[in-house]
Amino acid sequence: MRKVQIAPSILSADFSNLESEVRSIEKAGADMLHIDVMDGHFVNNITFGPSLISSIRDKTELPFDVHLMIDPVVKYINDFADAGADVITVHLEIKDDLFEAIELIHSLGKKTGIAINPETAINEILPFIDIIDQIIVMSVHPGFAGQSFIKESIDRVQALKAIIGSRNIMLEVDGGVSPSCSQDCIDAGCDILVAGSSIFSANDYKVIIKEIIGS
Ligand code: DX5
Ligand code: ZN
């Protein structure tokens, strides 16, 4: 059976102990770190930039899945690549040139993702479908951790899985993921589950990760 991957979002980690949080989450079975960058413009919240990412790069072997909720984005991509991102995801809704962003990310040797907000028609992904490595289905409105999972996202995951077909594209679900909805996401065809508050509010990271991925 296909094994779903888990990408804890460090947005909900204890920032005063970030190094130990990153090491604990790696030990607990995380497959990658999900890193949420917000600019207070594209979304209504500000998080952190490349310097925080590079400060934890040598603390873990885990790949860095960097989710850029920023616009403009193109002029910052080099910095995030240098900081140690492995996958760089930009939003379908940006005003910046998405083709230019994707090309630049690939030219830097990184994988490229596109994130799609809950209210955006999924067919808008079609012009990019043959040049991306990952799609993030937003199952909350981006901007904050700790929101409730939007149930309609399951149908969108299923529809995007069908669009992806046999292409080599990872399908990730991000927002409000907990053991109560994770199996539905897996059944709908998702490859990677992002989870922030449900993991970092738990007492035992290993136990909660197992509960989320269902093993
Ligand atoms: C939302 C972010 C998510 C979020 C996940 O804008 O992209 O990655 O931090 O946190 P939870 O799992 O708490 O929704
Ligand atoms: Zn995210």
Ranges of each domain in the chain:
5-213
Ligand 1 pocket residue status of 139, Cβ below 6 Å? no
Ligand 1 pocket residue status of 110, Cβ below 6 Å? no
Q: What is the pLDDT of residue 2?
A: 62
pLDDT higher than 90, residue 215: no
pLDDT higher than 60, residue 1: no
Q: How far is CA 102 from CA 34, 80, 110, in A?
A: 19, 13, 10
Which atom of ligand 1 is nearest to 11's Cα?
Answer: 9
The widest CA-to-CA distance across the chain, in whole angstroms, is 43
126-149 residue pLDDT tens: 999 999 999 999 999 999 999 999
Total-model pTM:
0.98
Which atom of ligand 1 is nearest to 45's Cα?
Answer: 6
Which atom of ligand 1 is nearest to 43's Cα?
Answer: 6
For ion ligand 2, residues whose CB falls within 5 Å: 36, 67, 174
Ligand 1 pocket residue status of 147, Cβ below 6 Å? yes
| Catalytic residue list contains 36 | yes
Return the sign of the alpha-carbon dihedral for residues 19, 25, 28, 29.
negative
Q: Which of 36, 65, 133, 191 is catalytic?
A: 36
Q: How confident is the model at residue 66 (pLDDT cuts 50, 70, 90)?
A: very high
The hierarchical CATH code for the domain 5-213 is: 3.20.20.70
Indicate the average pLDDT of the chain: 97
Ligand 1 pocket residue status of 146, Cβ below 6 Å? yes
157-209 residue pLDDT tens: 999 999 999 999 999 999 999 999 999 999 999 999 999 999 999 999 999 99
